[in-house]
Amino acid sequence: MNRRQLKPVVLGGLLAGSLIVSVVPAHADEDSWWNRWWGRYEHRNEIKSDRREIQGDKDKLRQDRKELFEDRRELRRDLRNGASRDEFRDDLQELRNDRNQLRRDQEELKQDRRELRRDLRR
């Protein structure tokens, strides 16, 4: 091949290569080889997983607050109706358990939020 024929072939190859390299990441979905190759896929999955955990923790927290409110209402009702000491003791124990569960779930939510912030910074 002489020099005149080589220049258009090389320039065409460079142009085609640069187009392919610039277009592939723009059209890469999250399950593509491109994102797996560059490590973005796992990072996105971690973030999605953290967000799902946070949503689950919020739901648990909402349920715990509801249980705590219902147990407080039950204790007030028992006080008005003059229930026995055993029933008061059981209701107070339920309240303690509900508060402890609420505290644990709040800590879990804080931890999951910290993990999400850490993953977003990477």
3 is a domain residue: no
* Prediction pTM value: 0.60
Which residue range forms the structural domain that includes residue 69? 31-120
* Furthest CA-CA distance within the chain: 107
- Positive or negative, the CA dihedral 35, 38, 39, 43 is negative
Residue 1 lies in a domain: no
pLDDT at 24: 57
Report if residue 25 sits inside a domain: no
- Greater confidence, 35 or 10? 10
- 29 sits in the region (left: phi over 0; alpha: psi -120 to 50; else beta) called beta
- Say if 11 falls within a structural domain: no
Number of domains in the chain: 1
Please indicate, yes or no, if residue 16 is contained in any of the structural domains. no
Give the CA distances from residue 9 to residues 41, 47, 117, in Å, rounded to whole numbers and listed in that order. 36, 45, 49
Q: Among residues 53, 52, 50, 55, which one has the least CA distance to residue 121? A: 50
Share of the chain above pLDDT 90, in %: 37
Q: Which pLDDT score is estimated for 11?
A: 82
For residue 12, how many C-alpha atoms fall within 13 Å in the half-sphere facing its CB?
A: 5
Contact of 120 with 43, CB cutoff 8 Å: no
Looking at mean pLDDT, say which of 15-24, 42-51, 67-76 comes out highest: 67-76
Check residue 23 and give its pLDDT: 62
